[in-house]
Structure 1
């Protein structure tokens, strides 16, 4: 079963996904998508906060751009928690703001194909960013557009979709 969990910043979406993962009877693999960039201490603190919440028995995968490889290697009965899709998308932006569109298209297609084929259960965490205005900056517009389109594609292939707001889950698709 594939489950997309979306919500705004600090909505409780990661915590909700982690609670679901804690209920899983089999092994859990936390797939960390964020890239640590030198000099961003505030972001490093966010990563440390997420790490502190994870149980020591969870396996950790840090695949960089190649999320599909983690899904392809997963075994039946395993649960993968991918957190988060927006951080994964950021890996396709260079430090100068240039976007690797070809690499993104290739890896996004591979992820969607692997998600449809995996024998594991997958929880995908992603930011809901479609409620804001159109950003002024070109880089931010690309990010908003690409993540919005990815979220739509993920929702289409996932059996369950949950929106989290104020720490409260709202089922949008699938069993409640």
Structure 2
């Protein structure tokens, strides 16, 4: 099975790219969403995204336990995990060990056809408070570990994909 990590900034086109790849794969698409509807604006956003994907897409909500959600993905499906950065935030707020949870995710990744979306949060200024710096550091470490395990890594800027890692041909 193959995995692709799609990185980029906010509103760079990462999710749209992942959805296009999933639709073009010929597999049945599944969305593993890490967002939670904690307020009305987020509930509306989630409903809008679900409607845009359409009935063909199966949606699983997994704000914390991505490996359990991946266990529900069938062999004929391709899963989009959107997004790892929000997952890191959720783990931190739940006081979970991000490194340990990432290790579990890396194990589960091996068995599935995956497109993983994440924000590249390390390109800006150094945050002024300790929590924001810890979040940036955790997200950066997760991105590095997932990128090392992924077959492909793509960076999206202004909707344009730039390949950072392609599979080696043997």
TM, length-normalised to structure 1? 0.87
Contact in 2 for aligned 1:163/1:170 (Cα 8 Å): yes
The aligned counterpart of 2:95 is 100
Contact 2:36 2:42 in 1 (8 A): no
Could you say what the CA RMSD is over the residues aligned between the two structures, in angstroms? Answer: 1.7
Runs of 4 or more consecutive aligned structure 1 residues displaced over 3 Å after TM superposition: 41-46
Find the counterpart in structure 2 of residue 135 from structure 1: 127
Residue by residue over 1:130-161, the C-alpha shift from the partner in whole angstroms, topping out at 9 and shown as x without a partner, is 11121111111111000000000010000000
Give the Cα separation in 1 of the matches to 2:140 and 2:15.
18
Match of 1:22 in 2: 23
1:7-50 CA distance string (max 9 Å, x none): 00000000010111111212111001012213xx4434433442
Q: Which residue of 1 aligns with 2:12?
A: 11
* Partner-residue secondary structure (3-state), 1:56: coil
Q: Aligned residue for 2:72?
A: 73
TM-score normalised by the chain length of structure 2: 0.89
1:50 partnered with 2:42 = no
How many pairs are equivalent?
A: 166
